[in-house]
Structure 1
């Protein structure tokens, strides 16, 4: 588990840069608390948060930032499979030891948000992640994360995996996290576990970092014998669509350049692509380009 988290923490550093400007004041404030090094009472910290931060968004950021800067991941506890103990007991231990597992992170986050009257929850399930442009998928059979509601919008946060997994919308989070209980998908059309495993492999380092991208479609790998023409695309926040271009890559070569992509007023940027049976058992990647950045892999579809 240690090597797995090391991968995610390194990737998360990139995401942290993107979030730095928006949250720099709060994060610096938390740094000053952590660097002080003095002993603390959790309720005293929370009372200070409640006094210094007015909005739920600010409070959630303060809670998240404090947890990731204060609590170390406990590999030994995870590897031993020790998930025993009640919620309050585990919270006391994580504060005392300043380390814990994903379950402890989630319990602590939920407790702190609840104290600050922020609507939050604890969600458990499985996680499917992709490292950069590698086709290797990393699976975990036991994982826990958080739900939070801010100004009427619903998000997920996975403090264990860091900044890239902060305030992710349900339609994006389902590409990597599948909850045990269907209601925690928070989707108008929930998917099955079979659908989850048949979803394309999103490059989380790009998909979650690019906050203007709302969704990817189609949502499943492609049965090439049933589909001869596919519309690949992304949905983008209104007003941001001109910042993006997309292309298709097969066998590491661009088949369609960005000039063929079509944008519409609903915020969809798409490419129609013809498939043939010679492509069976290969993969196609949707590439995106934003601003001055070069093309990056956004998602990879298996053709079967």
Structure 2
């Protein structure tokens, strides 16, 4: 992971906006894995346990995700104080590859035994366990979008890592780092809160928050401009399949007195929809109308609206936009 200047990977997601109950979030695979020991004698023993309990590659890949998310914690101290890059010398390509493998093996073992890591450790352990079960898995490095300040950024940076796993001839997107929890800025500590939504995530949602360094791993039609200028979506958006139809850009140009139109799929009048003004006071949406399986409404861009506007549904943040005054 690059030095401190990189964006906090997922660390400013609001504590209130991510919580839901264990029973609501977990599949049968997760419930079985939750009863596993927190420690195994080796990664091979853990892989054997998963292979014995689950017969399909999909369930095994999910079990790896669940066990890591339940048991490996994000090392926030290491994130703030990253170790120096480990260099080495070599006299041949074979020796170079051996030393790279040794460094990676050490990272995997450290993550597995210490039960803490940053994203490199999470992804390396996930890939290792998948390989023990004969499941093809890649580590992808790239940019992540986690703050309103990321809306409209000019460039991407390599500040995060995730996995892609091949199951039933289809590459599945996996971010187990984000599946294990989040940083609670009000308490100054990490909070363990298992989230299943970053296993086999819908690419439309995943690539709204991730952009790979290599074009080899781009989704269909994904562009750097779309990523940088798109709106910021949140965990609950993915969990409840709230599709942001309008505006289609995360940057809204408006002048005072304009009414900005929003349309969000899978929301209805039975939901409480509001936004926060620049004094962080909730403003309830009054003019919403149901349209095409969603809700359409307008917000008046007046002096009470700040630089960013975040839409909430039933107390959960759903989407944020940046507003530029004309």
TM-score with structure 1 setting the length? 0.70
Unaligned runs of 5+ in 2: 88-99, 181-193
Cα 1:173–1:83, aligned 2, differ >3 Å: closer, same or farther? farther
Cα 1:83–1:246, aligned 2, differ >3 Å: closer, same or farther? farther
Distance in 2 between residues matched to 1:28 and 1:42, nearest whole Å: 20
Does residue 166 in structure 1 map to residue 206 in structure 2?
no
- What do residues 137-186 of structure 1 show as CA deviations (whole Å, max 9, x unaligned)? 69985211122355676543322232345223221123332221234342
Q: RCO greater where, 1 or 2, for CA within 8 Å and sep 6 or more? A: 2
Contact 1:224 1:280 in 2 (8 A): no
Does residue 219 in structure 1 map to residue 272 in structure 2?
no
Contact 2:245 2:264 in 1 (8 A): yes
> How far did residue 263 of structure 1 move?
2.2
Does residue 271 in structure 1 map to residue 297 in structure 2?
yes
2:319 aligns to what? 299
The match for 1:283 among 303, 308, 317 is 308
With 70-79 and 52-61 compared, the bigger mean Cα shift is at 70-79
With 214-223 and 240-249 compared, the bigger mean Cα shift is at 240-249
1:196 aligns to what? 227
Does residue 58 in structure 1 map to residue 59 in structure 2?
yes
2:288 aligns to what? 260
Distance in 1 between residues matched to 2:36 and 2:43, nearest whole Å: 12
Distance in 1 between residues matched to 2:323 and 2:13, nearest whole Å: 31
Aligned CA-pair RMSD: 4.1
Does residue 100 in structure 1 map to residue 114 in structure 2?
no
Higher helix share: 1
Structure-to-structure mapping, 1:138-153, within 5 angstroms: 141-148=158-165
Which secondary structure state, in structure 1, belongs to the residue aligned with residue 208 of structure 2?
Answer: coil
Structure-to-structure mapping, 1:90-129, within 5 angstroms: 90-129=107-146
Distance in 2 between residues matched to 1:54 and 1:5, nearest whole Å: 34
Contact 1:126 1:177 in 2 (8 A): yes
Which secondary structure state, in structure 2, belongs to the residue aligned with residue 173 of structure 1?
Answer: helix
> How far did residue 128 of structure 1 move?
2.5
Which secondary structure state, in structure 2, belongs to the residue aligned with residue 34 of structure 1?
Answer: coil
Does residue 177 in structure 1 map to residue 210 in structure 2?
yes
